[in-house]
């Protein structure tokens, strides 16, 4: 209450015990802190998405997406980080989660800020207010081992199959060949020519069989020190007729002082180079140039086959070299697999890089024999 001059003279007030409320507030704060720490220190990436945009993400999440600052991800559309092939499915799942239907975890391919791809298992739960909590677990490593296992499993199966078939065919082939030669010796005139053709065809079957046997363990190999340059020249001469027919020009660039020797089985390496060059020629539907480069890098020899063919779409590159993967009507899908196996047995490495429409480069690396 104030007097005429406006100064306070009396005052009325009430006092209220708010201890309980304060305690409650403190507890809520503590609980929030505990949850915050739980989320922050979680080994999984945890994020909250509202209207398709990130509104929260924890440290593991930042690391997973390869960003250093929250601001780089908050407010962004989650689709920007998801591989395009999963967009449709993710939208359907999102709608399901928003309508609170139970939903199982799913494996998606994601993209880091720098474009690098990783696999993560995703689980989303609705937390109200149009927001969804998602947790992500990086499974790239697990995927890699799974794929490797599958690959070696397939390889083994193919190897065993090939070995079995090849052995089964070899024995009857020997008698066919023997009797054909006998008949050839007994025949005359036109007949003689027929038996010659039969003999040549049987030789071809034998050759294919030995190719299939390369797939099977154990292999009989004859390792010798050889000049890669000579082997390559022989192969290129062998294939020059085919290249000509397809208007492909094979250009070689070998280091002049290239005298490096490689401990190898010549026939097997020839088979590898034939496979690679044939693939390159077959990829250049309207002709072009195939460059073959040989360089030494320290104690390694690098042989590059650079073509101007149709190239391989990015997502197909891992498939190339898997047994029976072929895009050709008459392909076997075994060429590169056999090649890779041979190169591995030579303690070398084979890499394929390609861009759809811009050609393919196959790089074979072999240790140099000093």
**Which residue of 64, 310, 341, 346 would you call a contact of ligand ADP, by CB under 6 A?**
310
> Applying CB under 6 A, does 308 fall inside the site for ligand ADP?
no
User: Applying CB under 6 A, does 332 fall inside the site for ligand ADP?
Assistant: yes
Q: Tell me which residues in 247-266 interact with ligand ADP (CB under 6 A).
A: none
The C-alpha atoms of residue 336 and residue 249 are separated, in whole angstroms, by 22
- Give me 104's structure tokens: 């199982």
90 lies in the site for ligand ADP, by CB under 6 A:
no
Closer of 124 and 323 to Mg ion (Cβ) = 323
Judged by CB, which is closer to ligand ADP: 46, or 337?
Answer: 337
Rg of the chain taking only CA atoms, in angstroms: 34
- Residue 327 binding partner per list ligand ADP, Mg ion, none, with a CB distance cut-off of 5 to 8 Å that depends on partner kind: ligand ADP
- Of 355, 356, 342, 179, nearest to 266 (Cα)? 342
Q: How far is the CB of 275 from Mg ion (least distance, A)?
A: 5
Binding to ligand ADP by residue 283, rule CB under 6 A?
Answer: yes
DSSP states of 21-84: HHHHHHHHHHHHHHHHHHHHT-SSEEEEEETTEEEEE-HHHHHHTT-S-GGGTTT-BGGGGB-G
Mask of contacts with Mg ion, 244-283, x by CB under 5 A?
-----------------------------------x----
321: three-class secondary structure by DSSP: coil
Please compute, for residue 13, the number of CA atoms within 13 A of its CA located in the half-sphere on the CB side.
4
292 forms part of the interface with ligand ADP (CB under 6 A): no
Of 90, 271, 279, 308, the one binding ligand ADP (CB under 6 A) is 279
| Pick 20 or 329: Cβ nearer Mg ion | 329
Asked if residue 275 binds ligand ADP (CB under 6 A), the reply is: yes
Q: Are 223 and 264 in contact (CB under 8 A)?
A: yes
- Among the listed ranges 129-137, 145-153, 207-215, 309-317, the one in contact with ligand ADP (CB under 6 A) is 309-317
Q: Is residue 271 a contact point for ligand ADP (CB under 6 A)?
A: no
Taking the least distance from each CB to ligand ADP, the nearer of 58 and 279 is 279
Question: Is 135 in contact with 61 (CB distance < 8 Å)?
Answer: no
Tell me the window of 7-15, 117-125, 130-138, 334-342 that interacts with ligand ADP (CB under 6 A). Answer: 334-342
Q: Is 335 in the site for Mg ion (CB under 5 A)?
A: yes
Which residue stretch of 54-62, 202-210, 254-262, 321-329 sits at the interface with ligand ADP (rule: CB under 6 A)? 321-329
- By the rule CB under 5 A, 61 interacts with Mg ion: no
- Per-residue burial over 47-77, b if 16 or more Cβ lie within 10 Å, else e, is bbbeeeebebbbebbbebbbbeeeeebeebe
For the bound state, the minimum distance from the C-beta of residue 339 to Mg ion, rounded and expressed in Å, comes to 9
* 79 φ/ψ angles, rounded to the nearest 5 degrees: -60, -25
Which of 331, 353, 355, 358 is close enough to bind ligand ADP by CB under 6 A?
331
Question: Contacts with Mg ion in 133-172 (CB under 5 A)?
Answer: none
Inter-CA distances, 86 with 79, 83, 93, 105, 121, Å: 9, 6, 11, 14, 13
CB of 289: closest distance to Mg ion in angstroms? 19
280 contact, one of ligand ADP, Mg ion, none, CB 5-8 Å limit per kind = ligand ADP
Q: With CB cut-offs between 5 and 8 Å by kind, which of Mg ion, ligand ADP, none does residue 283 bind?
A: ligand ADP
DSSP string, 243-255: HHHTTEEEEEEE-
Give the C-alpha distances (Å, rounded to integers) separating 329 from 284, 324, 326: 16, 12, 8
DSSP string, 88-157: HHHHHHHHHHHTT-----EEEEEE-TTS-EEEEEEEEEEEETTEEEEEEEE-HHHHHHHHHHHHHHHHHH
What's the CA gap between 267 and 53, in Å, rounded? 59
Applying CB under 6 A, the residues found at the interface with ligand ADP are 275, 279-280, 283, 307, 309-312, 320, 325-328, 331-337, 360
Residues that bind Mg ion (CB under 5 A): 279, 335
């Amino acid at each position: 209450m104030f007097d005429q001059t406006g100064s306070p003279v009396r005052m009325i007030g009430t006092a209220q015990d708010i201890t309980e409320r304060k305690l409650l507030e403190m507890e809520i704060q503590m609980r929030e802190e505990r949850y915050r720490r739980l989320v922050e220190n979680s080994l999984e990436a945890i994020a909250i998405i509202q209207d398709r945009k990130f509104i929260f993400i924890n440290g593991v999440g930042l690391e997973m997406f390869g960003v250093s600052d929250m601001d780089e991800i908050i407010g962004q559309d989650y689709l920007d980080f998801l591989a395009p092939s999963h967009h449709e499915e993710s939208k359907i799942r999102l709608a399901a989660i928003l309508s609170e239907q139970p939903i199982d975890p799913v494996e998606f391919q994601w993209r880091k800020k720098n474009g690098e791809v990783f696999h993560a298992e995703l689980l989303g739960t609705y937390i109200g207010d149009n927001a969804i909590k998602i947790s992500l677990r990086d499974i790239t490593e697990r995927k890699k081992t799974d794929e490797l296992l599958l690959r070696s499993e397939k390889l083994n199966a193919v190897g065993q199959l090939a070995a079995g078939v090849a052995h089964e065919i070899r024995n009857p082939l020997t008698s066919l060949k023997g009797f054909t030669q006998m008949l050839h010796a007994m025949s005359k005139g036109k007949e003689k020519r027929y038996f010659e053709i039969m003999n040549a065809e049987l030789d071809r079957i034998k050759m294919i069989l030995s190719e299939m046997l390369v797939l099977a363990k154990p292999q009989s190999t004859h390792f010798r020190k050889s000049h890669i340059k000579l082997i390559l020249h022989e192969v290129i001469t062998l294939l020059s007729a085919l290249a000509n027919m397809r208007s492909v020009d094979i250009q070689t660039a070998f280091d002049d002082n290239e005298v490096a020797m490689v401990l190898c089985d010549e026939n097997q390496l020839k088979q590898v180079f034939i496979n690679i060059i044939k693939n390159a020629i077959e990829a250049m539907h309207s002709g072009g140039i195939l460059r073959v480069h040989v360089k030494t890098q320290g104690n390694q020899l690098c042989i590059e086959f650079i073509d101007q063919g149709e190239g391989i779409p990015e997502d197909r590159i891992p498939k190339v070299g898997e047994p029976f993967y072929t895009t050709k009507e008459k392909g076997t899908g075994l060429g590169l697999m056999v090649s890779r196996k041979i190169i591995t047995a030579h303690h070398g490495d084979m890499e394929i890089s390609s861009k759809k429409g811009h050609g393919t480069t196959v790089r074979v690396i072999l240790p140099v024999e000093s």
